[in-house]
Amino acid sequence: MTPDGLPPLPARVPHRLRTTADLRALQRVMAHALYQPLTPDDDLAPRFRDGREMAEVAASFIKPNDRLSSFERLQIYARGYWYRVMDCVYEDAPGLRALLGEARFRALVRAYLAACPSLSYTLRNLCARLPWFIREQPRWTTPDTALAEAVARFEWAQTVAFDGEARPVLTVAEISRQPAARLRLGLQPYLTLLSFDWPVDDYVIAVKRRQALRAEASHVVNHGPRERSSRRVPRPRRRRVHLVVHRYKYTLYYKRVTAGAFRVLQRLEAGWTLGEAITAAGRGVRAAQVSAWFATWTELGWFCRRK
């Protein structure tokens, strides 16, 4: 594997596809060509990643026609790929885009996709490594790196909650069959526990609401002064929040929980027994509060068997 996760380049490009190995070699060359970043003018890079002229590489596996050279035909595919994946990141990270602004967000997305190209059969996973990239490459988001990572984690958790795996829900009767000292509960795979120094849920909701209002206004001929629509959503102020991003009846939800409840859920996720996890709630938490937490969590279907 190359540093960006792609399979290594083949030793040669087959002129004819006689075997599946030939097809695989052709696909790898094509992938390496497409995944190279475009130039600032959105043109295909002039040189291939091994130093050869891109025109030479293109001519080795793409035929020209009476209107376009091999290089120009490959450039159409490269632009199509990059415009599509960039558009997906724009759709999946509206909060991060609003936080950074257009110029910085565009630079971040290009750098991210160059370092972490799509390696999945589905574009759903495209932003999975974005929080990691922001943390490892802070120059794209400085001085907002910590907040940018938090927003990226929150937005990726929404993707997980939307269509992540769901396991059979444990009922109250099934949970009550074992003593708390031995019972270990699993949390649904689509559920994500997040603890932030900013209310990023409020911020992203405000950004989406702002986008919806602007989209609605764009369909109105006379919608008054435009200066209000150009205002950005204010940056969130520091405040510790504990969130559970989940879904319920096929709808996405963000639920805030107390610090004690969050500690309990963290311990359960880590494999602690129910009794051990409850003690992590803290001395000030009463039994009635814990009982109310578990009644809500059970009703929401958060618990499943541990693998």
pLDDT digits (tens, 9 = 90+) for 48-72: 988 899 999 999 889 999 999 999 9
Instruction: Give residue 225's pLDDT band: very low, low, confident or very high (50, 70, 90).
Output: very low
Helix axes 20-35, 70-92, angle to 10 degrees: 70
pTM passes above 0.75? yes
Shared-domain flag, residues 216 and 292: yes
Domain end point (choices 127, 143, 159): 143
Residue 53's DSSP bridge partners are 47
User: pLDDT at residue 207 above 90?
Assistant: yes
Asked whether residue 155 is domain-assigned, the answer is no
Shared-domain flag, residues 38 and 125: yes
Domain end point (choices 95, 123, 143): 143
- Helix then strand then coil, % of the chain, to nearest 5: 50, 10, 40
Residue 190 near residue 166, CB atoms below 8 Å = yes
113, 157, 155: which is closest to 5 by C-alpha? 113
Shared-domain flag, residues 184 and 94: no
Asked whether residue 15 is domain-assigned, the answer is no
Residue 149's DSSP bridge partners are none
Pairing outcome for strands 185-187 and 251-256: unpaired
Residue 245's DSSP bridge partners are 192, 254
Question: What angle (nearest 5°) sits at the alpha carbon of residue 147, between those of residues 242 and 81?
Answer: 110
Shared-domain flag, residues 28 and 113: yes
User: pLDDT at residue 196 above 70?
Assistant: yes
Asked whether residue 296 is domain-assigned, the answer is yes
The domain that holds 190 is classified in CATH as 3.90.930
Asked whether residue 221 is domain-assigned, the answer is yes
What residues make up the domain containing 285? 172-305
Residue 269 near residue 187, CB atoms below 8 Å = yes
Shared-domain flag, residues 139 and 207: no
* Strand blocks (E) in 74-177: none
Residue 59 near residue 53, CB atoms below 8 Å = no
Shared-domain flag, residues 139 and 234: no
What six digits make up the tokens of 305? 């068997």
Shared-domain flag, residues 128 and 177: no
Asked whether residue 249 is domain-assigned, the answer is yes
At residue 229, the pLDDT reads 42
> Based on the structure, what is the number of domains in the chain?
2
Domain end point (choices 125, 143, 161): 143
At residue 3, the pLDDT reads 60
110, 202, 85, 187: which is closest to 150 by C-alpha? 202
Shared-domain flag, residues 119 and 242: no
Shared-domain flag, residues 129 and 193: no
Q: What average pLDDT does the segment 102-116 reach?
A: 95
Asked whether residue 12 is domain-assigned, the answer is no
What is the full DSSP assignment across 158-226? HHHHHH---PPBPPHHHHHTS-TTT--EEEPTT-EEEEESS-HHHHHHHHHHHHHHHHHHTT-S----S
Asked whether residue 13 is domain-assigned, the answer is no
Shared-domain flag, residues 199 and 297: yes
Shared-domain flag, residues 261 and 211: yes
What six digits make up the tokens of 147? 């907040």
Q: Given the structure tokens 């109310």, which residue do they identify?
A: 292
Q: Given the structure tokens 């003593």, which residue do they identify?
A: 179
Shared-domain flag, residues 109 and 208: no
Order across the sheet with 251-256: list the strands: 192-196, 241-248, 251-256
Catalogue the long-range contacts made by 293-299 (C-beta closer than 8 Å, 24 or more residues apart). 293/257, 293/261, 293/264, 297/265, 298/170, 298/171, 298/172, 298/175
Q: What average pLDDT does the segment 110-125 reach?
A: 92
Instruction: Between 221 and 45, name the one with better pLDDT.
Output: 45
Asked whether residue 34 is domain-assigned, the answer is yes
Instruction: Give residue 155's pLDDT band: very low, low, confident or very high (50, 70, 90).
Output: very high
**CA 240 – CA 267 distance, rounded (Å):** 19
